[in-house]
Chain A
Amino acid sequence: EAGVAQSPRYKIIEKRQSVAFWCNPISGHATLYWYQQILGQGPKLLIQFQNNGVVDDSQLPKDRFSAERLKGVDSTLKIQPAKLEDSAVYLCASSLDFGWQETQYFGPGTRLLVL
C-alpha cells in the first residue's frame, strides 16, 4: 500500500514570497491533516479535512495560510506571504475515517526554510 505522498521535499524562499505544498493521502482515506513541526518540537495541527470539508482550522493562521481539498483527495497548503517564523517541516497525514482515535499515517513532510 502506498503511503502519504508530499511534494516538494524541500523549499527555500525569501520572506514575503509565496509557497505551496501538495499532499496525496493514502487511497480511500477520508480524513486529511496538515501539521506544522518546528525544529525540536512535536507536530501542531493546522487544519483537518473530512472529504472536502474543513473539520478544524482553529490553529491555522488564516491571514497568511490557506488550504484546500477540492475533490476530497489531494490537498494543497499555501503560505502567502511567508515569514521567517514559518520555517518548519509541514507534515501531511491521513486516516481512514474521522475521529481523533483514528490512526494517522504521516507523509515524509516538506521542509521549508524562509530567509
Chain B
Amino acid sequence: GESVGLHLPTLSVQEGDNSIINCAYSNSASDYFIWYKQESGKGPQFIIDIRSNMDKRQGQRVTVLLNKTVKHLSLQIAATQPGDSAVYFCAESQNTPLVFGKGTRLSVIA
C-alpha cells in the first residue's frame, strides 16, 4: 500500500539555528497532512496540520510547507531550542485513517 516516509532518520541542529525536517509521501490523492512531535516516553503531540489546498501554513515558531508536485512535506522550526528535541512524525490522510511515517529524531546541540 501507499505510505509516508522520511528522508533522514536523525537530524542534529545547533541551538538557535533553524531546523528543517522533510517528509515524502507517495499517495497523490492525500488531502490532509499533519506533523506530530513525540518526546521520549510520551505519546505524539499535535504540532501543525495542512490541507492540500494550501502550500504553506505557519504556527508559533513552526512552518509547514507542502509541495504537491513532488509530493513533499517539510516542517521548519525557527530558533530551535533544547525542548524541541524529539522524534517528529508526518502523517497523511485521504479521508482515511492517518498513515504515519517512521519519524525523524531531532537532537538539539546546546
Give the interface of A toward B (CB within 8 A). Answer: 4, 40-45, 48, 56, 59, 91, 93, 100-101, 103-109
Q: Report chain A residues within 8 Å CB of B18.
A: none
Task: Indicate if the CB atoms of B100 and A42 lie closer than 8 Å.
Answer: yes
Task: Indicate if the CB atoms of A106 and B97 lie closer than 8 Å.
Answer: no
Bound Cα distance from A44 to B41, whole angstroms: 17
Task: Indicate if the CB atoms of B97 and A108 lie closer than 8 Å.
Answer: no
A-B contact count (CB 8 A): 49
Query: Pick the contact of B97 from A48, A105, A109 — CB < 8 Å?
Result: A48
Q: Report chain A residues within 8 Å CB of B101.
A: 42
The answer, yes or no, to whether B43 is at the interface (CB within 8 Å) is: yes
Using A42-B89, A42-B103, A100-B32 as known contacts, say yes or no to A107 and B98 having CB atoms under 8 A apart.
no
Bound Cα distance from A43 to B102, whole angstroms: 8
Query: Pick the contact of B98 from A41, A45, A105 — CB < 8 Å?
Result: A45
A47 vs chain B, min Cβ distance (A)? 10
The answer, yes or no, to whether B42 is at the interface (CB within 8 Å) is: yes
Indicate with 1 or 0, residue by residue over B77-110, a CB within 8 angstroms of chain A CB atoms: 0000000000001010101111011110000000
Smallest CB-CB separation from A106: which chain B residue?
A: B43
Task: Indicate if the CB atoms of A56 and B100 lie closer than 8 Å.
Answer: no
Task: Indicate if the CB atoms of A101 and B43 lie closer than 8 Å.
Answer: no
Q: List 5 A-B contacts (CB under 8 A).
A: A40-B102, A41-B100, A100-B97, A100-B98, A104-B46
Task: Indicate if the CB atoms of B45 and A106 lie closer than 8 Å.
Answer: yes
Using A40-B102, A42-B101, A45-B98 as known contacts, say yes or no to A100 and B42 having CB atoms under 8 A apart.
no
Bound Cα distance from A56 to B93, whole angstroms: 14
Task: Indicate if the CB atoms of B43 and A4 lie closer than 8 Å.
Answer: yes
Query: Pick the contact of B43 from A40, A45, A100, A109 — CB < 8 Å?
Result: A109
